[in-house]
């Protein structure tokens, strides 16, 4: 999960939104498990959503720079 978060941030920094979204998707898919205890699941859940804040900040920054929200939505 941390590796996917790293690559997501790196992709976003390089301006590669498609790869950033792909890494975010893989990170979220790690939450699809029933093998973890509730405590472990919660810890991973919190880590994933901490990483996703970077994606949120990237979208906000793109919008601030003048990119249309519809364009960002269609990218996702």
Q: Tokens for 23?
A: 């890494």
**Maximum distance among all alpha carbons in the chain?**
44
- pLDDT-flagged residues of the chain (< 50): none
Report the predicted TM-score, pTM, of the whole model to 2 decimal places.
0.81
Residue 22: predicted pLDDT: 93
Measured distance CA(41)–CA(34) in Å, rounded = 9
Q: Which domain holds residue 16?
A: 2-75
The count of structural domains within the chain is: 1
Residue with tokens 């699941």: 41
């Amino acid at each position: 999960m941390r590796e996917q978060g790293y690559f997501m941030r790196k992709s976003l920094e390089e301006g590669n939104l498609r790869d950033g979204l792909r890494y975010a998707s893989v990170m979220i898919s790690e939450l699809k498990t029933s093998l973890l205890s509730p405590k472990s699941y919660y810890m991973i859940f919190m880590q994933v959503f901490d990483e996703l804040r970077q994606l949120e900040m990237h979208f906000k920054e793109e919008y601030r720079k003048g990119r249309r929200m519809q364009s960002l939505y269609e990218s996702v």
